[in-house]
C-alpha cells in the first residue's frame, strides 16, 4: 500500500523535544492546522515506537520519523521493517550509505507494508548535512564541492528508488531540475517573514520554497515556540495556500 500523497497543508511541524507530554500536547494543539509532525532522534531515542504511537493517538496527523538510518544493507532493512510497522508517513536514510543500502530500505518498507498491511512509509534520503561545509567534506576524504556532492548523492538515491530527498531550500530548484517532477523534495530551513531566523542561515519563506519546487516543508520553532502554535501554523498554511493549491492543480493535470 503506498502512502497517501495529499495532506491538508504541506507543513510538517518539527517537535524537537525528548518529552512525551510536550510532544503530545503540541500534537493535539496542531491537529487542525499542521499537515504532519516530525519526530527525530532526540524523541525516538528516549521513547521509541511507544512514544511515536502516543503522538499518533494525540492527533492522527501523519508522522515524519526522521531517523537518518545508515548501516549495512541488512541492518537498515531490519530497522526499516520495524519502522514500517509503525504506520508513519515518511522516514529517512543517509544517501552516503550507498545505492545497495537504500534499495534494501525501500524493499523492506514495501514488503513490510504489504505484509501487515499498513501504509508504506515514503523513504526519503538525506544527502550532505547542512552542518557540513567544503572543509568538513575534505576532512572525511571527499574533495567535491558541497553542491556537487549533494547532486551526486541525490542521483544515487533516485536510482535506488527512494521517494524523496531532504534538502536545503537553496538546493530545491537545482534538485527539482536534476531529478524531475515526481520525486518528493522536503525542506527544513524555512522561515515566514514574520518569524525570527534562529540559527538557520540559508532560509527561504514557505511560499518561496514551495514555488522553487519543494513538496513538504519542515518548520519547527516558528510554530512550536509561538505563544499560540496552532495560530502560527494556521497563519503559515494560509500564506502558502495559493502556491500549494496551484501545485496541486499542476500535479493532477
Ligand atoms: O526550528 P526549526 O524550524 O529550525 O527546525 C527545523 C527542523 O528541521 C529541526 O528538526 C532540524 O533538526 C531539522 N533540520 C534542519 N536542517 C537540516 C536538516 C534537518 O533544520 N539540514
**Mean pLDDT, range 211-215, rounded to an integer:** 97
Count structural domains, the chain: 1
pLDDT for 106 equals 98
Q: What is the CATH number of the domain that holds 112?
A: 3.20.20.70
Which ranges of 30-171 would DSSP assign to H, the alpha helix?
41-59, 73-84, 99-115, 134-139, 146-160
- The number of the ligand 1 atom at minimal distance from the alpha carbon of 126 is 18
Domain that holds residue 69: 11-252
Q: Which of 29, 50, 53, 68 is catalytic?
A: 68
**Angle made by CA atoms 38, 230, 167, in degrees to the nearest 5:** 35
Asked whether residue 112 is assigned to any structural domain, the reply reads yes
What cell does 213 get?
519546487
List, for residues 177-201, the tens digit of each pLDDT value.
999 999 999 999 999 999 999 988 8
**CB distance 223 to 232 below 8 Å:** yes
- Residue 8 DSSP one-character state: S
- 19 confidence band (pLDDT: 50, 70, 90): very high
Atom 10, ligand 1: which residue's CA is nearest?
14
Asked whether residue 209 is assigned to any structural domain, the reply reads yes
Please give the distance, rounded to the nearest whole angstrom, from the Cα atom of residue 115 to the centre of ligand 1.
33
- Cβ-in-10-Å burial (0-12, 13-18, 19+) of 125 comes to buried
Residue 248 has pLDDT above 70, yes or no: no
Closest among 232, 236, 181, 228 to 208, alpha carbons compared: 236
Atom 19, ligand 1: which residue's CA is nearest?
188
Residue 60 has pLDDT above 60, yes or no: yes
Asked whether residue 4 is assigned to any structural domain, the reply reads no
pLDDT for 201 equals 81
**CB distance 88 to 62 below 8 Å:** yes
- The number of the ligand 1 atom at minimal distance from the alpha carbon of 130 is 21
- The number of the ligand 1 atom at minimal distance from the alpha carbon of 219 is 3
- 56 confidence band (pLDDT: 50, 70, 90): very high
The reported pTM is: 0.95
Asked whether residue 1 is assigned to any structural domain, the reply reads no
Mark whether 201 is an active-site residue. Answer: no
Asked whether residue 89 is assigned to any structural domain, the reply reads yes
Amino acid at each position: 500500500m503506498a502512502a497517501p500523497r495529499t495532506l491538508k497543508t504541506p507543513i510538517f511541524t518539527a517537535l524537537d523535544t525528548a518529552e512525551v507530554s510536550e510532544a503530545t500536547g503540541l500534537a493535539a494543539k496542531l491537529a487542525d492546522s499542521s499537515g504532519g509532525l516530525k519526530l527525530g532522534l532526540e524523541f525516538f531515542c528516549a521513547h521509541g515506537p511507544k512514544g511515536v504511537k502516543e503522538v499518533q493517538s494525540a492527533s492522527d496527523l501523519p508522522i515524519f520519523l526522521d531517523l537518518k538510518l545508515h548501516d549495512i544493507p541488512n541492518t537498515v532493512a531490519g530497522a526499516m521493517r520495524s519502522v514500517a510497522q509503525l504506520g508513519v508517513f515518511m522516514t529517512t536514510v543517509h544517501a552516503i550509505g550507498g545505492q545497495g543500502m537504500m534499495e534494501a530500505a525501500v524493499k523492506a518498507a514495501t514488503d513490510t507494508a504489504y505484509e501487515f498491511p499498513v501504509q508504506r512509509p515514503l523513504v526519503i534520503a538525506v544527502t550532505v548535512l547542512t552542518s557540513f561545509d567544503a572543509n568538513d567534506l575534505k576532512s572525511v576524504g571527499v574533495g567535491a564541492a558541497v553542491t556537487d556532492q549533494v547532486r551526486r548523492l541525490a542521483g544515487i538515491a533516485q536510482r535506488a528508488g527512494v521517494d524523496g530527498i531532504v534538502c536545503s531550500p537553496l538546493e530545491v530548484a537545482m534538485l527539482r531540475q536534476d531529478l524531475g517532477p515526481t520525486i518528493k523534495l522536503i525542506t527544513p530551513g524555512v522561515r515566514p517573514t514574520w518569524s525570527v531566523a534562529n540559527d538557520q542561515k540559508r532560509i527561504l519563506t514557505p511560499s518561496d520554497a514551495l514555488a522553487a519546487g519543494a513538496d513538504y516543508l519542515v518548520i519547527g520553532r516558528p510554530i512550536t515556540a509561538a505563544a499560540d502554535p496552532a495560530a502560527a501554523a494556521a497563519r503559515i498554511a494560509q500564506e502558502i495556500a495559493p502556491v500549494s493549491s496551484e501545485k496541486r492543480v499542476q500535479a493532477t493535470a
